[in-house]
Chain A
Amino acid sequence: MGATHLPSTEFDGTGLDDQLEAEAEAALGEPAAEMVQLLGPDGTLGTDPVFSEYAERLDAEKLRGFYADMAAIRRFDQEATALQRQGQLALWVPLTGQEAAQIGSGRASQPQDYIFPTYREHGVALTRNVDLAELLRQFRGISNGGWNPKDTNFHLYTLVLAAQTPHAVGYAMGIQRDQRLAEANGLAESGTAEPKAAVMVYFGDGASSEGDVHESMVFASSYNAPVVFFCQNNHWAISVPTAVQTRIPLSNRAKGYGFPGIRVDGNDVIAVHAVTEWALEHARQGNGPVLIEAFTYRVGAHTTADDPTKYRESSEEALWRAKDPLERLEKYLRSEGMADDAFFEQVAADGNELAAYIRKSTYESDTPDIRTAFANTYVEAHPLVAEELAWFEEYSAGFAGEDTAEGAGN
């Protein structure tokens, strides 16, 4: 896009990445994707011919808000990890390192937009006002969702990788039809039409290899659907590095589908916000899909069941910790006089309050009843479900009073 974009190779986590990208460059005869960056790791704000104007719209309050969001979700992440270690959660999927990618993009969305996450988008969930205690219900094993997507336009987590990408495109095709219907009914002219909406779908570098991503991009391109594909390239699909998923920058793949692809420094919340705001507006205005590759890093494990020491060097993690998204924004806020010690102390206190709320909600969460599963398998009455439920009730009734008896015996 512009001369100020740093070549991505400077930001790669491993020497192997550098080598592979150099090979890709040589093979393709074109440079590796340039990366949009506004706020560098040293906390200084650079310029960009396209995206600086988006950064200029951000006042001190917005920037402090970004910091507070990122700090809150990192604190939440720590608390959830602790709850898993205490046996309160079956599993946790940490996001540390990816706060800027998630808060920056989530804060660029508007209420009428619809978001399809994968399963690590706790930061995006925060920006969509999902109750974070509800979000933990899935990981506690008491729900497969926990929140009602209709309340927040933030869909349930999808665990089958990339399966949500065609849903996003279909949803966007629905938005297109709604808009055409509104135009046909003259609602647009009368000013009573809904605000224009877009869809944003999240996936990772690992999921980018799934066929559903390809099919989704084909559909989105063919129908010019208002959808933003937001790929968080966090460099590791559990234990397999990005280099196994792709030999070229992922953002370059968009070219093959015929829509824009942008690589952005995923640890730079200002750049992520700018690029996503641009992309969503591009989609809302009927200009079709955009692929954003947020170049970031999963600092922690894939899940609480994972052990990164088996597949990567701690020096690599250290390299990325030096590019921490929170630290660079803190440096910037302090150097610009936008935030002082009192602000950061308040953020830390708010984080502890959030953690306490999460802990309390988790301890106090209700135990599910399998009857709910019977009730929700189908919308309409189903004779087999009814028959099996009736059997279960009769069977359960045979144990009536037994719990009490055992309790008394103990």
Chain B
Amino acid sequence: MTTMTIAKAINEGLRATLSNNPKSLLMGEDIGPLGGVYRVTDGLIAEFGADRVVDTPLAESGIVGTAIGLALRGYLPVCEIQFDGFVFPGFNQITTQLAKMHSRSSGNLTVPVVIRIPYGGGIGSIEHHSESPEALFAHTAGLRIITPSNPHDAYWMIQQAVDCQDPVIVFEPKRRYWLKGEVDTEAAGLAEDPFKAHIVREGTDATVVVYGPLVPVALAAANAAAEDGRSVEVIDLRSISPIDFDAIEASVKKTGRLIVAHEAPTFGGIGGEIAARISERAFHSLEAPVIRVGGFHMPYPVAKVEEDYLPDIDRILEALDRTFAY
């Protein structure tokens, strides 16, 4: 066991990938000598050279598009998109090309491309640097989407993404890059399957489903609720596509109440999908409607008011109050 930050864990995961698989390579803007704007690729170009850690021209469609070509040639590219709000020039390549290549080739071609995207707010940044666009990608069949919330998961999930033969988008919770935790680099243990949700706190009265940056928030809210005598179960979704509905269903059948929280706007979001599916699967177990906590239907607001936009402990507690009121 080693203690490290999420950023360092991804760095070590990428180092392991580059060491273990000669066909893997990293590509992105400023990922070479600078080590990426978040230093996630720090030191890797010195160790693996410019053919394996590629500083690209400033062009996201070009990054994803050339990664697809490299994958068709048998390589395993890991692309870094500098910020969530800058993925959109590459959106066409991701949704019309990357996601569909296996399907449209009748299964003859595979494009195991990984795309890393730092996402989410809470860092006081300027516009386009704090967004949570995961639902836009989750709606596209052919992609897998995962998001680690702690260093151990981060270390293993980035490697599992590279090993996966499908394209995988890894949303990295940027405001938690410096969150420290223990990493077992010898064994994945519970993190063996990146597409399974984890119960990170057991409870009996209500279930709160979160992922990425909101996992610590939900845990804090559950602790606060415990002081009021409420036993809240917290699930870290980990995978946004596919979603581990079995885990959520089992929890809801135990607790009877479900809250889904994410930074992304609630409208058309992952929370709505979970609410609909769980209503179908566990209707008779639900004591209250599924409640969503998330961003508002507006462009991500300016940094000085993002506190009012982002779901925090109180927003989750308010949702818990509402569910218990039924």
Contact residues, A165-188 vs B (CB, 8 A): 165-175, 177-178, 180-181
User: A149-B105, A165-B65, A375-B107 given as contacts; is B70 within 8 A of A174 (CB)?
Assistant: yes
Name A174's contact: one of B74, B103, B112 (CB within 8 Å): B74
User: A144-B103, A373-B103, A379-B102 given as contacts; is B110 within 8 A of A166 (CB)?
Assistant: no
Query: Mask for B160-183, Cβ within 8 A of A = 1, else 0?
Result: 000011100000000000000000
Contact across chains for B73 and A379 when beta carbons are under 8 A apart: no
**A216–B64 CA distance with the chains assembled, in angstroms:** 11
Residues from chain B with a CB closer than 8 A to the CB of A174 are 69-70, 72-75
Query: Mask for B187-207, Cβ within 8 A of A = 1, else 0?
Result: 000000001000000000000
Query: Mask for B56-78, Cβ within 8 A of A = 1, else 0?
Result: 11010110111111111111010
Name B242's contact: one of A170, A177, A384 (CB within 8 Å): A384
Contact across chains for B61 and A172 when beta carbons are under 8 A apart: no
Contact across chains for A166 and B69 when beta carbons are under 8 A apart: yes
**A372–B104 CA distance with the chains assembled, in angstroms:** 11
Residues from chain A with a CB closer than 8 A to the CB of B246 are 383
Q: Name 27 interchain pairs, CB-CB below 8 A, sorted by A.
A: A114-B73, A145-B104, A148-B106, A156-B104, A156-B105, A166-B65, A166-B66, A167-B97, A169-B66, A170-B69, A170-B73, A171-B69, A171-B72, A173-B70, A174-B73, A175-B73, A181-B22, A215-B59, A215-B61, A218-B57, A219-B62, A375-B107, A376-B105, A376-B107, A377-B142, A379-B165, A383-B244
**Distance (Å) between the CB of A170 and the closest chain B CB?**
2
Enumerate chain A interface residues (CB-CB to B < 8 A): 114, 143-145, 148-150, 155-156, 158, 160, 163, 165-175, 177-178, 180-181, 211-212, 215-216, 218-219, 222, 372-373, 375-380, 382-384
B20 in the interface (beta carbon within 8 A) = no
Contact across chains for B141 and A377 when beta carbons are under 8 A apart: yes
B276 in the interface (beta carbon within 8 A) = no
Rank and list the top 4 A-B pairs by shortest CB-CB distance, nearest first. Answer: A170-B69, A166-B65, A174-B73, A170-B66
Q: Which residue of B lies closest to A222 (CB)?
A: B57
**Distance (Å) between the CB of A207 and the closest chain B CB?**
13
**A160–B104 CA distance with the chains assembled, in angstroms:** 13
**A211–B96 CA distance with the chains assembled, in angstroms:** 15
Enumerate chain B interface residues (CB-CB to A < 8 A): 22, 25, 51, 56-57, 59, 61-62, 64-75, 77, 89, 92-93, 96-97, 100, 102-110, 112, 141-142, 144, 164-166, 195, 241-246
Q: Which residue of A lies closest to B97 (CB)?
A: A163
Residues from chain A with a CB closer than 8 A to the CB of B102 are 376-379
Contact across chains for B57 and A177 when beta carbons are under 8 A apart: no
Contact across chains for B75 and A219 when beta carbons are under 8 A apart: no
User: A180-B51, A212-B65 given as contacts; is B72 within 8 A of A167 (CB)?
Assistant: yes
**Distance (Å) between the CB of A325 and the closest chain B CB?**
31
**A211–B103 CA distance with the chains assembled, in angstroms:** 25
**A269–B42 CA distance with the chains assembled, in angstroms:** 52
**A378–B164 CA distance with the chains assembled, in angstroms:** 10
